[in-house]
Structure formats: structure tokens, C-alpha cells
Chain A
Amino acid sequence: MTRWLVWAIGVALAVAAWAAPPIGLDGDDAVPPTGLPDYRVCAMSAAPDAELRLVLGSDRPGWAPVTIITAAGSDQPFSLAVNEAGGGSGVLPSSAPAGVVVEELGQASAAALVQSGPTGLAASMCPGRPAETVALAGLSTLEGDSAELVLANPYAEDAVVTVRSTSELGLDTVAGLESLTVPAGSLLTRNLSEVLALRTTLAVTVRSERGRVAASVRYAPAGGGVANLEAVALETEWWIPIPEAVADLAIVVATDSPSAVSVQVDVYGLEGVIEAYVDGEEVDTSRLLTLTRQDLPEGVTAVRVVASAPVVTGVVFRGEGSAAGGSGATGLGGRWLLPGAGSSEGAETIVWVMNPDPADVTVVLQALVPGARAEPFTVFGESVLGIPLGGGPVPGQLLTADGPVAVAWTARVEAGDRAYAAGVPESG
């Protein structure tokens, strides 16, 4: 019996081992936390005689290291002061095509490049870490138009990207834009008006097969003026405040999805909101949705684009001697940074605040300079308020609201050219 007892104890212990829950590995179920980058990356090409100004909005006063990337490689970083109000501004030493990396801004930050000069005025927002696929829309390459693509790779790894475009002709695949290697710490430029000539409406998608790049297009239509369209990540919702005085307007919706993406456009105007003003339209890699001033109701002050899959919107304003454009705001928020708004001396700058809700919203606008006065404004429900800025040049503005709003700003110089840029909500 003893041997059976001993055996039984052994088996019981083995069964206990079998039945016991396994020992987990410490931390093997940990989920990596995510966060916002505390840096901004921009790409821009300016005219040789233009002044290229980097403007910052940050919640971290101090010094922000700035690295400029050119086709020849990266320069040594220099530091740009961020004042106590969170604003910073500095003129870059060269206006040649460049990528710019601004570090240590804090997570609630924004940066923009503003070029000004005889050829016109343009602003370009600097995103944080570029997404794998970025896109821009709204340019043209008709005769006399100029469109130069800048691909900046500030990173330590060579990037391999493929550039695809969609126009009224469908999907364009250009061999010279496939699997482009953008060396680490360097940039590439491609003249789209040559390789994709004679497109009335063009959207460009940049997909990184390896690494990441910041991309933008310096767009100079034949009619004059210059705009800088930065490539941004695709989203399913876009808010686009529309300046009052712009006559020639085009809103372009594009996607990198090969399958059809359904798009709905809500229009805000003097009569309130018209939901699903455009409904059931579809876009894909070979189809764009283009809305001009003529396609929109009279008195439109803003549009909201909602899609069933990520899309990019581009809004381009063209006029005699002027061009401006951008991608709109990607969401609503109560705290916005507007780097560059009010930075161009002599320019007429207006901040456009869109309140999509029926209830009124009070917003407070404050320049990013120490001691700046905070001015409150009321934005009525389902309306857009334009707030002209006065005073001397400042790095930018901080707008806070007691309700969700979408914000953009425009600037116009006496020569006629405009700049347009969406604000940056605190979340990103």
C-alpha cells in the first residue's frame, strides 16, 4: 500500500501542476503607450528672393533646436527662442527647398513656414511625425502652372517612397515617381508640372515603403501668386472655413483607397447648415471629387467633408495674382494654435472660426507674445466668424473656445496674394 500511496501523491502533485494556471511573464501583456511627438517636420520650397520664416507655437518656453535639411544634407542644428507666451519666430538662412525639423516643442505645439516676397505669400503647416501615407489635393499643372514637389527625409534611415497622383484623367503612375529613395537627412524635389503636365485638378499621394518623409508642393498657378500645399495624413472628417472674399475656390477630395469611398459634404452658410449637400459621391485612386464656387450655394462660409474611409481634402483659392491653399482642419477643438497668423508685416490677416453647433461659442484670441491682450469674441451657432488681426507682427495666435470650433487663417498682402492655413488643435 505504501508504494501506491507514494505514487498517488506523486500523481496528485503532477495533476496539480497541470491544473495550475501558468506563470505569466512579467509585462508580456504590456501595451505600448502612445503619445504625440514633441517635434515638427516641414518641407517647403520658396522662390529665391522670398523670405522664409519659421514660426512656432509651443507650450514649452525656451529654446527649440532647429535642423535644416537640404539636398546636400543636414546642417548643424541651431536654436530658436520660444518666448514665455509660447511663440517663436525666425527667418531661415536660405529659401532653397528645405526640410525643417523643430524639436523640443512639447506636445501641445505647432509650427509653420511662411514665405513672403515679391512672388507672393504662402504658409505651410508643419505636421508632427509624418504618416506612412500623406496626400495633398487641389493643384493644377496646366500651361503656365508650376508645381514642385519637395520630399524631405530628416531621419536617420533612407526612405523609399512612391508618389502617385489622381487627376481628371484618372490614376497617374509615373515611372520616375515610383520607389524613390530619399536619402537619410536629405531631400528630393520633382517638378510635377513636367512629369504630370496639363492636369486641371491634381491630387498627390506619397506612400512611404520604408522610413518617412515630409512632403509639400510649391504651387504657382499661371494666374499669379504662390501657395504651399503640405501633404497631410488622410482622415475621415475635414472642416474647411471659407474666407468671404475669395471668388475662385476649389475643394478637392481624394483618397489612396483603390475601392470606392463614399463622401458626404455638409455646407454651412448664411442660412445655417445644409447637411448632405453632396451625398453619395464616390472617390477612389482614379476619381476625385471637385467642388468649385459654382457647385456650392451662395454665401457658403464653411464645409464639412465626411467620408467612409480616410480621404484628404484640398482647398485652393485662386484669383488674379493670388493663390492660397491648404487642407483644412481635421477636427473640432477648444484650443487652437495658429502659428504664422499675424506674422507677416503689412499683411491683412483674418482668423476664421467656425462654430458647427447651434449654440453660440465664445472664443478668446491671444497673440503668442508676452503681455498680449486676450480678446473675446462670440461665434454664433452654425456660423463662421472672421476676426481680423491688428498690431505688429507676432509669431502666431492662441485661440481658446468654450465650445468645439474649427479654425483657419488667411493673410493677404497688398500685392494681392493670399496665404491660407488651418489651425492646429491642441491634440495634434
Chain B
Amino acid sequence: MATLSEPQRPGAPEHIAEPDEPTTAKVVAAIMAFDTGLEPSLKAVQAQVYEVTRIVVIGGEEVTATAAELGVERHASLGGLVQDLEPDIEYVWVVHGDALPRPDALTALTKEAARNDAAVVGSKVLDAADPEHLESVGSATDVFGDAYSGLDEGEVDLEQYDVVRDVAFVLGVSMLVRRDLLRGLGGSDPLLPPVAAGLDLSQRARLAGARVMVAPSAEVMHVRSCGHDFGSWSETAGRMRAMGKVYRPVTLVWVVPVDLLIGLVDGLVHLVLGQPRRLGGFLTAVGWNLRHLPSTLSTRRAARALRAVGDEELFRYQVSGSVRLRELGAEVGGRWQRAVDDEGALGGVATRFSGRAPLAALIAVFVLGLGARGLWFGTPPSSGFTLPITDDPVSVMSAYAGGWNEAGLGSPHAVHPVAAFTAAARWLLFGWDATFRLVTAGAMVAGLFGFARLLRRYEITGPARYAAGLAAVAGPAWLWFAGRAYWPGILALGAIPFALDAVLRPWPATARGRAGRLGTLAVTFGVLAAVTPVGPLVPVAGVVILVAAGLAPPGPSLAKSVVGTVLGGVVLGSYLASASVQTLLDGGVSFDREPVWWMWAAVLAASAITIVGGGSGSRPAAAGALAAGAGLLGALLAPWEVAVASMALAGVGVALVVSAAFGSGPSGGGWRGARLAAGLVASIVVLTTLSSVPGGTAGIGGDEWGRRLQFAASLDESPGSSRILLVGEPADLPGAWRSGPGFAYRTVTGSTMTLDQAWLPPRRAGDSGLEAALEELMVASSLRPGRLLGPFALRWAVVVGDSPFADAVEAQLDLRPQPLAVGVQVYENLDVVPRAVTDTGVIWDVGGGIATGSPIDGRVRIADNLAPGWTPGVEADAWAISASASAGRAAHIPDPTGRALGIAGATVLVLGMLVAVWGRARP
């Protein structure tokens, strides 16, 4: 900390310049008080060869006593002062209260002002603690207002800049300003910090046609107790405000967004460099400016009134490009250079890398975003089980809770819980179209950071955690899901680290903490249960594996996982009540299961090498291998829902192995060479995450079915009044499928294939009837296949690829080929029977288990599977529903048990979330 003393440059002869031409202009010195230590500055001003007329301290009430004590007057603001000054005062010398001007400083200032007809003249500012070092000799700026002094850090003053010249701005540490100009400008902006205040005043002065110059012979020592910090958030905010005041709109239109972008980049890079405050400062500055926008606009109007020149006059004193980006480049380059110079060895780089977790997180998020960019910026995919979330979330939620499931030919069986879960998300977001994107992004990011957090438990730190998280959510496990376009897999990978973490963390000591933990268990296990009914068993299996590897205590963790499983079961209650054991296990889904074996071989190899290398990573590596192996076995051989859960477990294994291989580091003990090799192999696993980058849709197909079925939506006069028959190879069809005579098929109710229809409910009479109709169609090469399909309300048949179905309907009378979609063959059924039609041929609207239309004294046939719960006066019409049409309405009454269980499940989930948040907060 420098102390104020008589300003004297060490080793330099006493320097008192004589003015070439004596001036007689009256000057008032305005000492800007930042604290109460004004005396040295006051004395230095009083000691000026060129005597001032008055000395006024500018400051708040806190300096009143000091001013009185020093025998000088005080004024609250510079603006206020200039309003009160006598007309014969020509200049106001603004001096910071921590500045120590040399005795001849004012002489030099007044002389140069007079000689150059300058309205603002600044001083050369030297560091009071080390007067050899230059702080400022006037500055240029870039167009964004960032100061560019041209000085190197700690640059010694050799009088190399001692040239009187025009500059973009001068520091407010010492500046002589013409009184009339200062009065017109309203003084300096009291909201601005020192540097920004100088910039602001200089720019406004220049805009008013005044010259802004620096007089290097007017030397001032600066103690820097004024809070003078170019990089502070307040200076950033002030710079933005100063910019906003002076530029014309045409300049602001591009300057503001570019400035924001630069600030963001600068902040993010500094975040990566371990300086998060820069980003925080930038964001704070933006917020500050938003808050003070009205005041900025009003001062801008005032400045405009004085404008005498255009923005070009400001540009003349600006450097090209961005000072901040230049500095950023220099800083990054410097760091790299130091890293190379200082270390040069792998261990050094690794050591540096270990401190780069934010960089790794950023890269991981970037890779995830890049690999799935098509999901954010293009049409969302529509293939396999990656399908749009319904437009009618309430119906789907109802269908989960005892209502009517529209999938297939209709069923009272609950829709798959993941469909209800995503429908609820869309409902909560007021039907927002981007819900699918949001849920996907949320799951990806949650998985990435969830795994990173989970792995910290095993002393794996630094970027390894994020590399492992990336490999878990976008590596071999996800690629297996993506190969089947099984989108719910990403939800499983997103939820499982949190479920495991909730199980593995010690049981809280407080009741509130315990409640919060229970809430966390309910939410995480509930989400896993939504993805697959056996999902809650994954953490149980994970715990067993971790226990086996000695990474978790057996008792408490298992107990917590059992509690979580029970809670997950409660969330899933409605589905469990309506589904058979077989449905719970296979979901009615069948897939080719083959994984990309070499990726898994790499995972197992990395685990083996890590164990060979010894150190702290060997146990997680072993546990990871077991999780991966067990997961693979389940994924390949178990029924589908179990396979999904198993692959999620395998994803945990990938995370453990990769983190262990990377995470031990060269200083982690054991055989260093083996660990380096393990890291190399693990890198291959991590690099698999890049395989989605070329396609850009996270490995999932594109918008196949949205595009293919677009015609149906366009031509559907009454939504939901008919169905579409999809025919092709199993892998070509969206969602689940049924096996037909030589082809796979499924139906779509309405005109859009949505996620809730992806899972076909268990077979009922109508489904058997449709199967029989298709067999008859194929066996007899029927002349009227449309008549066979018509009773199922199948208005369209869409055939993908070469199918025996297409051959069978090549020569027939009532399936008219229509060129309505590219890449598929579309047939319009001329013999279609509307989904809900009365005896008299009146078509009713139908959807969500409700059919409505004109009442008639007769019956209405609804081409949905006959099932209990339909009213009124329901009879069987073969496999379909025949209801009384006299009321103009026929509906399925939701099963009360299913409804109650559904509501209970939702309640547990919502309460769990609330309690989890409440429980985590500090009381």
C-alpha cells in the first residue's frame, strides 16, 4: 500500500516546468473524494505553482467533516458544482482524492489547454508506489469502449510518450475541463466508476466538438485507492453505459450485440482458465445496465442535444478490432507458452489438465450439443421410439391413469409411463412445442453432470469426471439406444447417476435432510420407473456391484435403494396395476439387440489395464467392468424393458471405467505406464461420442415419420376419425410392431405418430381381427383389401420398402395408390369405415375415449377394441364397440383404481421434487 507523501520521482532532478506563455485563466480544483484521506491530495493541489481560485471537495456527507477540517468547501456532485460556479471561472481541474499532482501539473494543463484550444486535458498518470511506472498517458479505446493504453504492464516512464496529443479519453485522475463545457455536459456521471467516468466525460466532450488531449508534462502520482480497476464489473458496466450514451443507433445496432458476444466469449474462456469471476462480472454488468437503462436513455438524450460531430469523430481515436479479444488471445497464448516452457512433460500437462474441469465440462457440453444439433435446430426426429410428444397431453395423462389408450386399436391398458411423463412435462410447459428438445437437453446435461458428481465420490477429480460423464451419456450405451432410436434411453442415462448418488450418499442427520433424501429417491427412481418399469432395479444392481467391488457399504446403500424402488413403484402404480408381467418385462417391444462390440471391448480393456496399473482407480475400474458385463448380458438376452435397464447399468459401467482410467493421473500411485495406456484406451471410448457429430441427431434417425405422414394430417378432415396402417420391416416402423404374414405392421390412430402410441397395448379381439384380416388379404390376394381393413378405420396404408403386402395389393379395387409421400407407398382405402359412425351413417368425432356427434335413435359403432368401461348401452359389434347414440355421446369411464393410482404416482413425484428441494436447503 502506497502512502501519500510529497511527490518526488526517485533519482530524478526536481522538475518544475515554467510555462512558455503565462495564462491568467481562473481554475477551480474539484477533488473527487473516494474516502476521507484527502489531505495529501489537497496539499498537492494547494502547492501548485499555478494557483487555483477555489478548491472544492466533491463527495457525500461522509467527507463533510474532513472538508471542514481541511478548510475547504464540499459539494455533493461535480454537476452541481459547475452549475454554481461563477462565469469568470474558465476551467475546472478534476483531481481524484488519491492523486498527487506535481506542483507544475496545473501549469502544464492550463498551458496546453490554451495553446491547443482543448476543452479536456488530462495528465500523465504514474504509479504513486513506483513513480517510474506509467499508469496512463491518455488512452485510445476500441469501438466497444475498452481502453487501449498501449502500455505494457509495469512499463517504465522514459518520457517515451511525452507528446501532447489528442486521445480518446483521459483518466479522471487529473483532468482539466473547460467550465462551460463541463456545465453543458452536466458534469461527470455519478453512477460511473473512475475509469468509465473519464471515458464517458471524454467521449461526450468530443461529441460536443471539443478536443480531448493529454499533456504528459502534467504528471500526477496515483495511489489507486479510488477503486480504479479496469477489469472490475463496475468498470465493464460503466463502459457499456458510456457507449450507450454516445453512439448513434446505427452504430449501437451492431456494437451492442457484438460487445455482448465478446463479453460472453471472454467470460467463458476465463471460466475455463479458472477465472469464473470474469463471466460473473460480465453478467452482472449486463444486469446493471438493464437496471439503469432508463437513466442511460435520459442521459443519452441530453448528450444528443450537444452533439456537434458524428460517431466518426469517436472512431478516429479508436483502435481496430477488440481490445478484449486481443488481450484474451495474449493471455491464452501466454499460458500455453508457460505451460510448454515450464513443463514439457506429460506429467506436467496432466497436472495442468487436472485443474481444467471447467474446460472439460465445456467441451463435453459442446460435444453433446454438436452431436445433437439436429435436435435443437432442425425438425425433431420421428423414428423408432424417438417420436413427438402428443399435442393432447391431458388425454395421454388420463390414459395413463385408468383412461382410454388410443394406441393400436384402443385399450384400457395404461400408456407407457414415459409417454405420460413426457406428456406431463409438456402440459406443465403449457403445451410448448419444444418440450421434446428441452427434455432431451435436460437429460443429456443432467447425465453428464450427474455422472461427474457421482464419480467425485471415488476421488476422481478434474476433467476425468466429465470425460466419463460424456462417455456414459453419449458413448457405447447411448449409441446402443440410438441404434434402435430408443429415445427414452437418454432419460435413463440422465436419471441414473442421481438415483445412485441419492442411494450412496450418507443418510442425513436431520429430519429435514432425510425428508429431502426421500424426495430425491422418489424423483430419481420415479423417472427411472417411467423410462422402464424395471428401471428402479438399476440402482439396486449398481449398489450390489459397488458393494462387491468394495466401493459402497452394503447395508445402508441397499436399504436406500430398496426404499427408492418402492417409491418408484408407487409412481408407477397405475401402470403396474394394468400391465401383465410380460408387458412389464418386454413392453410389447422387440428389437435386434446387437451392440457395437469393439466399443465394449475397449471398455473392458481399459478396465483391465487400469487394474493392472493399480492405484485408486482400480476398484472403480473393476466395478465398471462388472456393470458393463452384466448390463450387456441383460441388454442382449433379457426382455426389452429389462434390456433397457441393463443398458443403463452398462452406462454406469462405462462411466466408472473411463473415469478410473483417466482419473488416477500420473501421480495416483501404481504403475504409471499402465495408467497411461488405460487412459489411451479410455480415450477411444470417449471418442465414440463423436460418432454422432457427422449426423448431428445424436445417432437417432431423422424426421422419417413426421415427413411421411404429413399428408394424413393435411387430408384428415376430422382428427382421430381414422387410422393409418404402417407396413414394412420391423426396423423401419416407428415404435412397437406386430408380426404379420411376411411383414411387420402397426397402426397409428389419427394422423401423427406420437410417443404415446409407440407402445402397443396387449392384444385384444380387434388386434386379432386385424391380424386375421391381413392374413386373409395375403392368402386370398383379395380384390378388395380395403374392405378387409375398412372396419378398423384404416383409411391409409403406408408401406415402407419392398414388402409382400405391396405385392398383394398390386391388383385390387379399393386401395388406391396415392403419390403423397416420398420413399413410401401410400394407399388410400376407398372402403374405410369411419372410426365412429352411427347406424344412419353419421360420423362422430372420437378421441381420448370419447365419441360425440349428433344424437340419433340408434347405435354408434366405434372401431376400438371392446372393453369394459364404455357407456352408454354398450354391446359388442364383433370386436368393436357398439354404444347407444341417443345421448350424442359415448365414452370410456376411467377405471377408478387406475385413476387413483395415477394421481398418487403424480403426487409422489411432485411432492418428492418439492421435498427434495426443501430438504437440500439450509435451514
Answer whether residue A333 sits at the interface, using C-beta atoms and an 8 A cutoff: no
Given contacts A37-B781, A103-B783, contact A129 B811 (CB under 8 A): yes
Answer whether residue B118 sits at the interface, using C-beta atoms and an 8 A cutoff: no
Partner of B594, one of A16, A22, A38, A67: A22
Give the most central of A2, A107, A185, A212: most B CB within 10 Å: A2
Chain B, Cβ-Cβ closest to A130: B811
Answer whether residue B707 sits at the interface, using C-beta atoms and an 8 A cutoff: no
Given contacts A130-B811, A157-B816, contact A14 B780 (CB under 8 A): no
Chain A, Cβ-Cβ closest to B620: A3
Answer whether residue A31 sits at the interface, using C-beta atoms and an 8 A cutoff: yes
> Which listed segment binds A: B314-322, B449-457, B630-638, B833-841?
B630-638
Answer whether residue A9 sits at the interface, using C-beta atoms and an 8 A cutoff: yes
Answer whether residue A72 sits at the interface, using C-beta atoms and an 8 A cutoff: no
Given contacts A2-B550, A184-B816, A212-B810, contact A11 B779 (CB under 8 A): no
Answer whether residue A211 sits at the interface, using C-beta atoms and an 8 A cutoff: yes
The CA-CA distance from A176 to B637 in the complex, in Å, is 61
Chain B, Cβ-Cβ closest to A77: B813
- Shortest distance between the CB of B784 and any CB in chain A (Å): 7
Interface residues of A in 1-34 (CB under 8 A from B): 2-4, 6-7, 9-18, 20, 22-23, 25-28, 30-34
Q: Which residues of B contact A154 (CB under 8 A)?
A: 813
The CA-CA distance from A215 to B623 in the complex, in Å, is 73
B622–A17 CB distance below 8 A: no
Chain A, Cβ-Cβ closest to B785: A156
A38–B607 CB distance below 8 A: no
How many A-B residue pairs lie within 8 Å, measured between CB atoms?
Answer: 158
Interface residues of A in 62-113 (CB under 8 A from B): 67, 101, 103, 107
Q: Which residues of A contact B626 (CB under 8 A)?
A: 6-7, 9-10, 13
B593–A23 CB distance below 8 A: yes
Q: Which residues of A contact B632 (CB under 8 A)?
A: 13-14, 17-18
Q: Which residues of A contact B545 (CB under 8 A)?
A: 6
Contact size range, A? 35 or more
- Flag A30-58 by CB within 8 Å of B: 1 or 0 each: 11111111110000000000000000000
A156–B636 CB distance below 8 A: no
Q: Which residues of B contact A380 (CB under 8 A)?
A: none
Q: Which residues of A contact B808 (CB under 8 A)?
A: 32
Answer whether residue A277 sits at the interface, using C-beta atoms and an 8 A cutoff: no
A11–B625 CB distance below 8 A: yes
Q: Which residues of B contact A9 (CB under 8 A)?
A: 626, 629
Main secondary structure of the interface of B (DSSP, over half): helix
- Flag B726-770 by CB within 8 Å of A: 1 or 0 each: 000110000000011111100000000000000000000000000
- Shortest distance between the CB of B655 and any CB in chain A (Å): 14
B730–A25 CB distance below 8 A: yes
The CA-CA distance from A20 to B629 in the complex, in Å, is 13
Chain A, Cβ-Cβ closest to B608: A7
B744–A27 CB distance below 8 A: yes
B592–A14 CB distance below 8 A: no
Answer whether residue B775 sits at the interface, using C-beta atoms and an 8 A cutoff: yes
The CA-CA distance from A14 to B636 in the complex, in Å, is 10
Given contacts A10-B627, A38-B780, A39-B783, contact A156 B622 (CB under 8 A): no
Q: Which residues of A contact B781 (CB under 8 A)?
A: 34-37, 129
Interface residues of B in 590-647 (CB under 8 A from A): 590-594, 597, 600, 604, 607-608, 611, 618-619, 621-630, 632-633, 635-637
B629–A4 CB distance below 8 A: no
A22–B592 CB distance below 8 A: yes
Given contacts A32-B741, A155-B811, contact A25 B623 (CB under 8 A): no
B811–A17 CB distance below 8 A: no
Chain B, Cβ-Cβ closest to A9: B626
Chain B, Cβ-Cβ closest to A106: B780
A157–B804 CB distance below 8 A: no
The CA-CA distance from A11 to B808 in the complex, in Å, is 49
Q: Which residues of B contact A17 (CB under 8 A)?
A: 629, 632-633, 635-637
- Shortest distance between the CB of A19 and any CB in chain B (Å): 10
Q: Which residues of A contact B888 (CB under 8 A)?
A: none
- Flag B775-802 by CB within 8 Å of A: 1 or 0 each: 1001111111010000000000000000
A33–B607 CB distance below 8 A: no
Chain A, Cβ-Cβ closest to B779: A35
A4–B628 CB distance below 8 A: no
B830–A156 CB distance below 8 A: yes
- Flag B800-825 by CB within 8 Å of A: 1 or 0 each: 00001000101111111100000000
- Shortest distance between the CB of B674 and any CB in chain A (Å): 14
B549–A14 CB distance below 8 A: no
Q: Which residues of B contact A20 (CB under 8 A)?
A: 633, 636-637
The CA-CA distance from A16 to B629 in the complex, in Å, is 9
- Flag A144-155 by CB within 8 Å of B: 1 or 0 each: 000000000011
The CA-CA distance from A101 to B812 in the complex, in Å, is 11
Answer whether residue B548 sits at the interface, using C-beta atoms and an 8 A cutoff: yes
B623–A27 CB distance below 8 A: no
A22–B636 CB distance below 8 A: yes
The CA-CA distance from A14 to B786 in the complex, in Å, is 49
- Shortest distance between the CB of A236 and any CB in chain B (Å): 22
Partner of A31, one of B590, B730, B742, B811: B742
Chain A, Cβ-Cβ closest to B549: A6
Interface residues of A in 228-266 (CB under 8 A from B): none
- Flag B544-579 by CB within 8 Å of A: 1 or 0 each: 010011100000000000000000000000000000
- Flag A257-296 by CB within 8 Å of B: 1 or 0 each: 0000000000000000000000000000000000000000
Q: Which residues of B contact A32 (CB under 8 A)?
A: 741-743, 778, 804, 808
B630–A13 CB distance below 8 A: yes
Answer whether residue B853 sits at the interface, using C-beta atoms and an 8 A cutoff: no
The CA-CA distance from A3 to B618 in the complex, in Å, is 7
Q: Which residues of A contact B810 (CB under 8 A)?
A: 157, 211-212
A6–B811 CB distance below 8 A: no
Given contacts A7-B622, A101-B783, contact A27 B739 (CB under 8 A): yes
B739–A3 CB distance below 8 A: no
B604–A10 CB distance below 8 A: yes
Q: Which residues of B contact A12 (CB under 8 A)?
A: 629
Partner of B628, one of A3, A10, A16, A107: A10
- Shortest distance between the CB of B552 and any CB in chain A (Å): 13
- Shortest distance between the CB of B359 and any CB in chain A (Å): 31
The CA-CA distance from A2 to B545 in the complex, in Å, is 12
The CA-CA distance from A18 to B827 in the complex, in Å, is 42
Answer whether residue B653 sits at the interface, using C-beta atoms and an 8 A cutoff: yes
The CA-CA distance from A122 to B782 in the complex, in Å, is 29
Partner of A16, one of B590, B600, B633: B633
A37–B633 CB distance below 8 A: no
A37–B636 CB distance below 8 A: no
B780–A30 CB distance below 8 A: no
Given contacts A10-B622, A10-B653, contact A30 B741 (CB under 8 A): yes
B611–A4 CB distance below 8 A: yes
Chain B, Cβ-Cβ closest to A12: B629
The CA-CA distance from A193 to B600 in the complex, in Å, is 73
Given contacts A10-B607, A10-B630, A129-B811, contact A28 B625 (CB under 8 A): no
The CA-CA distance from A38 to B744 in the complex, in Å, is 25
A212–B600 CB distance below 8 A: no
B813–A7 CB distance below 8 A: no
B779–A33 CB distance below 8 A: yes
Chain A, Cβ-Cβ closest to B828: A156
Partner of B625, one of A6, A22, A184, A185: A6
Partner of B814, one of A11, A129, A156: A156
- Shortest distance between the CB of B710 and any CB in chain A (Å): 22
The 6 sampled A-B contact pairs (Cβ below 8 Å) are A10-B607, A14-B600, A15-B629, A30-B740, A32-B804, A129-B781
Extra inter-chain contacts (5) besides given A3-B549, A156-B813, CB under 8 Å = A20-B633, A25-B590, A33-B742, A35-B778, A35-B780
Q: Nearest 6 A-B pairs (CB), nearest first?
A: A27-B739, A32-B742, A10-B629, A13-B629, A10-B625, A10-B626
Interface residues of B (CB under 8 A from A): 545, 548-550, 590-594, 597, 600, 604, 607-608, 611, 618-619, 621-630, 632-633, 635-637, 653, 729-730, 739-744, 775, 778-784, 786, 804, 808, 810-817, 827, 830
